[in-house]
Structure 1
């Protein structure tokens, strides 16, 4: 396979996937915005800011030239934060050909427009080949070749299978899906629930609390997803419950770590600053709140987290309100 890859974004995930692909013998250009960081990485072959002690193979060319990174590549991998996707695509759109495949690994929903990443890309690059790669996949573990499974989704079966084949490796198993809506929503809104899981930890609550939060969290993600046209079974898979588990339970999770700080008493700005990297769930909490209003779907956990983050609601009061809501039937969302 002589596939060439342009990776846009040198954070932990973009770097980890570059390592994965280069180890398969593929040609990878990794674009990083900060030119000083580019020089350091090219000299040391280490991206110490995001993945300390993980060596970058010689097959990765690190560059500050975004046009060079995408020029004549078979796959352009978008690994920038979700709120930067539109701006980034605008920069490269005149240098992208229709036979190139855009693979997105960002997880988020644009505030106000409420567009998923596929919708943003399609608006900027009409009729291009697009796939999303998502699932329970901490960059820190992928970079160290720890066994991982993810899902690739596209509306085009050939694109899905091409991406699946390109990224499959002995320690990186890729499943296929045609449910772009479900995969994108699951990967995005689980970050909001993970903030809640962290808040629970910061408050000193236990395993019972977290299990309830995760279970009811996937229930409300599914409720919204079905209303938006997703397949409900997608949320039982890797980009649903799989990603939710890893993001709510691991200290690799920025969202969980930020939530812990909030539960311990930090305000939102202090918590995010303490993490030192993008916490995707913060912006997605606003989008989830807006989506619940747009689709008239009840998202009690996401709504409570939104109120804590953006309306200054006391976290313990938010928990009390969740617990004291009207009685419900557990299976009321399911039509048999």
Structure 2
């Protein structure tokens, strides 16, 4: 497969803008940021700054901007950088404009709420003629856009495609590691958001750092069981898209999932949180539903889902977790 050197990043939010900026900085490809809102795209292009999402960060001079899907016609690599629950709609909207040779990279961390499917499965259903890869791992948009050192994982069913994508997208401050385990990379990225909410609950309820450490370690065990049950490689969650991302989002207040958990730990109802999109809130309910159906032992994810839907309060959830039968690690 011969790829065009043109890369289009769909999604002019913080993460999409940051990815477009860091890829453009590498200077190896023609990079365009494609947004839905012509007025917003025009403002970003005029100022070369995304004042709302990435204030104070100057975007590269060679980064192009557009609100016209026609720019996809000759793109070799297309990054889908929109929320997990919007991936299917985006595929339907932009799919007709894709080049026949384009590779699509999903850059969301979640599980499809309606079907319980992985996002790569969703995109393969909608875009059956395109290879689908996934990018995930520890990286806040502002850090990436500022050019601070960041490493993430990129996975495709064909390892050669993942390796070529890693070479095409990586730059001096943004390093991608290739993987053939799309299942593990995706579930690591989705489930770490659930565990970050759990760690926020611990912080908000004042339960201490020891409890946070216990949640991170036992949460990794849950992630491994889930990945194995879904056909992935359990060791993948010990890498960038699992442990690496979990450590970042479970300890930094830049994480919306952590802040959401803190609000829950303070006793605020889930619907009162005003921190923006919380992917882990969607993933918790889906993961709990899948775990029950298999079954997979996922006590932390199930507790988070129950707290979010209001069927269990924080104190009762902690008591339930701490009163589980003593077993081996």
TM-score by length of 1: 0.94
Tell me whether 1:327 sits opposite 2:326 in the alignment: yes
Aligned length: 326
Residue 257 of structure 2 aligns to a residue whose secondary structure is: helix
Question: 1:2: how far off?
Answer: 7.0
Q: Is the 8 A contact 1:2 1:27 kept in 2?
A: no
Stretch of structure 1 that moved more, 75-84 or 44-53: 44-53
Q: Is the 8 A contact 2:26 2:172 kept in 1?
A: no
Pairwise CA distance, 1:68? 2.4
Structure 2 match to 1:36? 39
Contact kept? 1:112, 1:290, Cα under 8 Å: no
User: 2:229 aligned with 1:230, yes or no?
Assistant: no
- Note if contact 2:265-2:314 (Cα within 8 Å) is conserved in structure 1: yes
**SS across alignment from 2:57:** strand
Picking from 57, 62, 65, the partner of 2:60 is 57
Q: Does 1:98 align with 2:100?
A: yes
Please, what TM-score do these two structures have when normalized by structure 2?
Answer: 0.96
1:45 matched residue in structure 2 = 48
Residue 122 of structure 1 is matched in structure 2 by 124
Instruction: Determine the structure 2 residue equivalent to 1:168.
Output: 170
1:172 & 1:284 partners in 2: Cα distance?
27
Contact 1:140–1:252 (CA<8 Å) still a contact in 2?
A: no
On the 8 A contact 1:193/1:302 being kept in 2, the answer is yes
Alignment of 1:247-258 (within 5 A): 247-258=249-260
Give me the whole-angstrom Cα distance separating, in 2, the residues matched to 1:94 and 1:43: 29
- Matched with 1:259 is 261
Partner of 2:207: 205
CA distance in 2, matches of 1:267, 1:36: 35
2:313 counterpart of 1:314: yes
Give yes or no for the alignment of 1:27 onto 2:11: no
Q: What is the CA-CA distance between 1:58 and the residue it aligns to?
A: 2.4
- The partner residue of 2:73 within 49, 71, 74 is 71
Unaligned runs of 5+ in 2: none
Q: Secondary structure of the equivalent of 1:303?
A: helix
* Aligned with residue 9 of structure 1, among 8, 11, 14: 11
What is the alpha-carbon distance in structure 2 between the residues aligned to residue 94 and residue 199 of structure 1? Answer: 43
Q: State whether residues 285 and 302 of structure 1, in contact with CA within 8 Å, keep that contact through their aligned partners in structure 2.
A: yes
- The SS at the match of 2:259 is helix
Q: Distance between the aligned counterparts of 1:259 and 1:153, measured in 2?
A: 29
Q: How does 1:216-227 map to 2 (within 5 A)?
A: 216-227=218-229
**Over residues 30-67 of structure 1, what are the superposed CA-to-partner deviations in whole Å (9 max), with x where a residue is unaligned?**
122223322221221111211111111122222222x2
Cα deviation 1:249-273 (Å, max 9, x = unaligned): 11111100111111112211111xx
Matching of residue 294 in structure 1 with residue 297 in structure 2: no
The runs of at least 4 aligned residues of structure 1 exceeding 4 Å deviation read none
Name whichever of 262-271 and 72-81 sits farther off.
262-271
Structure 1 CA distance for aligned equivalents of residues 291 and 4 of structure 2: 45
CA distance in 1, matches of 2:95, 2:56: 35
Q: Which residue is equivalent to 1:107?
A: 109
Instruction: Select between 173-182 and 91-100 the one with higher mean Cα deviation.
Output: 91-100
CA contact (8 A) 2:195 2:219 kept: yes
- CA shift digits 1:267-306 (9 cap, x unpaired): 11111xx21x311101111111111022210100000000
